[in-house]
Structure 1
Amino acid sequence: MMSHTQDITHHISDEMIAAYAAGSLEWHYSLVVATHVSMCDECRARLSAHEAAGGAVMECGRPTQMSANAKSDLLALLDEPVPQEPQPFTKSGVFPAPVMAALKGDPPKWKSLGFGVRQSIIHKDKSGSVRLLYIPGGQAVPEHGHRGIELTLVLQGAFKDETGRFGVGDVEVAGDELDHIPVAEKGEACICLAATGAPLRFHSLVPRIFQPIFRI
């Protein structure tokens, strides 16, 4: 069950919200931010403030002189057919609208990682990746570190690690300095949306062997 927004205690940093508002945040991180903002009144208000500030800066900019062809270009655009607006996606189950949009309305395609843990890769390229993780209640994720930033947003259930407890709507921001063993709380499975800028650093041999296969 979704928690109330007042139960969210771990938020997106102001710097990352500003980067998201400016359109300068990588896509995989942007998906986590957009999803968290859809669940969190506080961060949604902070995003609105950044967007309003950005709009004010644009309005204060110096006017630019229009080109000689501006009028003819505008008239040509008016003659073109109006593109159809994409169909908006809505929340489905535990998956908020931004996740459903990234999935194009389809359910996640889960693949087993062993011990009941599953993942569904939403997007992966040279800049990073974003995926859904399904961790059975009471199950631990192998100890690992990070090469850069990892954002993990809880959509269902909760997990704990060395830094605290993360419930629905909470975001853990893990950097190079953090080595941890996330453990899903007993009870319902923990479902997370996780974005990374680089492959994880696993400490034990078996996860390292299977890491290229699982693309984590």
Structure 2
Amino acid sequence: MSKINHHLTDEMLLSYSAGSLAEAFSLVVATHVSMCDECRARLDAFDAVGGSVLNDCGEAVVGADSLDATLARITAGEDRLPARKTKADAVFPAPLAEYVDGDLDAVKWTRVGGGVRQAILPTSKGATVRLLHIPAGTAVPDHGHNGAEMTLVLKGAFRDEFDRFGPGDVEVANEDLHHTPVAEEGEDCICLAATDAPLRFNAILPRIAQRFVRI
């Protein structure tokens, strides 16, 4: 993998460590961390701080059967979700592969126009996460954001008016960003994107299609 130039913010990593991120954003964070040594090390540091804080907290009274009940739930979860071994040539890291039950060839794509395809992944309410397949050289209609968006490149690359994002790079957008991402020539771009609000398109056709494709 090429060098990762765009990383997660400390705020995102702290929220993930604390378990306060929506599931959609947590999936993007977990997938990026599995690809990025730098962010994984920072996350480990935040986890260590959190563990230290817990050690200093007072004891809580729990039921006598709490340990047995917890171990039983862990064992049941392991039975339902056996560990998945990621192939050396896989596009999807393990956290994402669990959500699609496989790799790129297991994705059930839906066309959203202009050759772009998407697959919305099932997560809890509060935010949405989707896989995007953008053909090489194709531009996503220019748009702004009504909330937060986190986009992780898994394969290929895209550029906008401000920078380039390749495999492992993550773009964190908010209401201040307005841009037109374009997949680079030579290879289709596969991204994982989480949003907590609909995008804000300028052109009329994307706005009409928006209600049907849930972007």
1:28-82 Cα deviation digits (max 9, x unpaired): 1000000000000000001111111101111111224x46xx33x359749x795
Tell me how far apart the structure 2 counterparts of residues 94 and 143 of structure 1 sit (CA, whole Å). Answer: 27
Larger Rg belongs to: 1
1:20 to 16, 40, 48: 16
- Partner SS for 1:9: coil
Displacement of 1:210? 0.7
Count, aligned residues? 208
Displacement of 1:128? 1.7
Displacement of 1:125? 5.9
Q: For structure 2, list consecutive stretches of 5 or more residues without a partner in the other structure.
A: none
Give the match for residue 94 of structure 2: 97
Q: Is the CA contact (8 Å cut-off) linking 2:23 and 2:124 kept in structure 1?
A: no
Cα pair distance change 1:74/1:29, threshold 3 Å:
closer
Give the match for residue 83 of structure 1: 76
Give the match for residue 112 of structure 2: 113
Q: Is the CA contact (8 Å cut-off) linking 1:89 and 1:98 kept in structure 2?
A: no
Give the match for residue 29 of structure 2: 33
Displacement of 1:91? 3.1
RMSD value over aligned CA atoms?
2.2
Tell me how far apart the structure 1 counterparts of residues 184 and 19 of structure 2 sit (CA, whole Å). Answer: 35
TM-score, normalised by the number of residues in structure 1:
0.89
Cα pair distance change 1:211/1:44, threshold 3 Å:
same
Aligned-residue sequence identity (percent) comes to 54
- For residues 148-187 of structure 1, the aligned pairs below 5 Å read 148-187=147-186
Amino acid at match of 1:89: R
- Partner SS for 1:179: coil
Give the match for residue 199 of structure 1: 198
Tell me how far apart the structure 2 counterparts of residues 143 and 154 of structure 1 sit (CA, whole Å). Answer: 18
